[in-house]
Amino acid sequence: MTRFANAFAKGPALVCFITAGDGDTASNLDALVAGGADVIELGMPFTDPMADGPAIQEANLRALARGTRTADIFRIATEFRQRHPNVPLVLMGYANPMTIRGPEWFADECAKAGVDGVICVDIPSEEDAELGPALREKGVSLIRLATPTTDAARLPAVLNGSSGFLYYVSVAGITGMQQAAQGSIEEAVARLKAASDIPVAVGFGVRTPEQAAAIAKVADGVVVGSAFVEIVKQHGDSAPGPLQDYTASLAEAVHSARINA
């Protein structure tokens, strides 16, 4: 079984996002794992993060101001894989840093670093050839995004070539700013699960253990990002302790959600 399959086989998975190069990234990643994160998303800082709200935009700027480069991200990923051989690691970002040296180069670096999957926000399924074949050639999952506006006509194209898990963006907006109604999430997850066998994780706007638990009762995973990034901003190099505590509160809610359903 792949690391993704193992992570989702245990029940609802907690997927945690932070931005590479923002704060002490290695220690922050270790804190997420220690707190109970099942899957890690590591954001690749970019100058124009169009899907992200203010919290992650600011994290991108902080990371870039510190001189974070793609080589640094792969070094962080490689060292993470050495410390945590069984935790799935996803790189999340935008097309330019992933394709500027050619998709084959990026896919090869992902494979060498032990990256399990890639989320590229601004390469839609219609443009899969820009990155998808290179990733699949190296055994790296391309994790696609589905949204409230992904209709039945387009969904097959989104699912085609997607693996690892499907990321359901629960609001038609940017990260960290609003929370979707639970009823709309339940309806969407049921529709997606009826169309595919891969796990469905729900993100955008999830902040509290109560929200996470409600989503985990219907979805295969819950994604939290902006709230972690705000902790890094608030605590700087002292963030690992608060990050671990917050992760643990979310993990308990997510992992017990089906039991308490």
Q: Where are the domains of the chain?
A: 3-260
Residue among 5, 2, 10, 20 at smallest CA distance from 251: 10
Phi and psi dihedrals of 222, rounded to 5?
-125, 130
Q: What's the pLDDT at 204? A: 82
Task: Look up 52 and say whether it is catalytic.
Answer: yes
Give the whole-angstrom CA distance, residue 232 versus residue 19.
Answer: 9
Q: What's the pLDDT at 184? A: 86
Q: Identify the DSSP state of 47.
A: S
Residue 116: exposure state from Cβ atoms within 10 A (0-12, 13-18, ≥19): buried
Task: Look up 41 and say whether it is catalytic.
Answer: yes
Assign 32 to helix, strand or coil.
helix
Q: Which of 22, 52, 116, 128 is catalytic?
A: 52
Say if CB 252 and CB 36 are below 8 A apart: yes
Model confidence, pTM: 0.95
Give the whole-angstrom CA distance, residue 206 versus residue 170.
Answer: 9
Buried b (16+ CB within 10 A) or exposed e, 58-83: bbbebbbeeebebebbbebbeebbee
Residue among 116, 113, 110, 81 at smallest CA distance from 98: 110
The tens-digit pLDDT sequence of the chain (261 residues) is 599 999 999 899 999 999 999 999 999 999 999 999 999 999 999 988 777 778 889 999 999 999 999 999 999 999 999 999 999 999 999 999 999 999 999 999 999 999 999 999 999 999 999 999 999 999 999 999 999 989 999 999 999 999 999 999 987 655 555 666 777 889 999 999 999 999 999 998 888 999 999 999 999 999 999 999 999 999 999 999 999 999 999 999 999 987 665
Paired sense of beta strands 39-43 and 141-142, if any: unpaired
Q: Which of 41, 109, 128, 230 is catalytic?
A: 41
The residues that bridge with 119 in the sheet, in sequence order, are 92
**Which CATH fold topology does 3-260 show?**
TIM Barrel (3.20.20)
The residues that bridge with 202 in the sheet, in sequence order, are 168, 222
Quote the tokens at residue 80: 């993470």
